[in-house]
Amino acid sequence: MSQEAIGKARWVVGAELPSVAKMLGQEKIDRYARASGDFNPIHVDAAFAAQTPFGGTIAHGMLLLAYLSEMLTSAVGQAWLSGGRLKVRFKGAARPGDVVTAQGRVQRVEGERGVCSVECLNQEGDVLIAGQAEVKL
């Protein structure tokens, strides 16, 4: 369903944005490394990553941010793409085998702008990324 027509009527405090869930595998992490040029061994070298405090490879933070952006694009379409703002903090690492869910909830509406809390969670409910998104309505 296109959410271009969400309009101000749906932008009420507490309204949930449509979530996006993605299965994360090592191949997806490797594809992201090739696309981004970021071959940090924490992402792509299992033997190296096993010796770190993470105990294995982890996904690129920007890959998770792409899931948040996909969720926001689904929710508000062009308004997000042409003028959305995102401010987040990385809270945890996503690992191969995780199901990452990007979700959001309207916090407030200020004139022509909507402000949402956004987060990415793993299947255990651990917060991986948390922050705010702002978009012109």
The span from the CA of 76 to the CA of 104, in Å, is 12
pTM: 0.89
CB-count exposure of residue 4 (10 Å: 0-12, 13-18, 19+):
exposed
Q: What is the pLDDT of residues 90-126, one digit of tens each?
A: 999 999 999 999 999 999 998 889 999 999 999 999 9
* Residue 111, amino acid: G
pLDDT at 29 over 80: yes
The reply to whether 36 falls in a domain is no
The reply to whether 81 falls in a domain is yes
Domain count, the chain: 1
The reply to whether 51 falls in a domain is no
Q: Identify the CATH number of the domain in which residue 122 sits.
A: 3.10.129.10
User: Which of 69-78, 91-100, 123-132 is the least confident region?
Assistant: 69-78
The span from the CA of 65 to the CA of 5, in Å, is 24
The reply to whether 64 falls in a domain is yes
CB-count exposure of residue 68 (10 Å: 0-12, 13-18, 19+):
buried
pLDDT at 11: 80
Query: What tokens does 50 get?
Result: 């096993």
The reply to whether 4 falls in a domain is no
- Mean pLDDT along residues 38-62: 98
The reply to whether 50 falls in a domain is no
User: Could you tell me the residue range of the domain that residue 65 belongs to?
Assistant: 11-25+59-136
The reply to whether 102 falls in a domain is yes
pLDDT at 4: 39
What is the bridge-based pairing of β-strands 99-110 and 113-121? antiparallel
The reply to whether 17 falls in a domain is yes
- Mean pLDDT along residues 81-87: 94
Do the beta carbons of residue 109 and residue 11 sit within 8 Å?
yes
**DSSP conformational letter for 39:** -
pLDDT at 137: 81
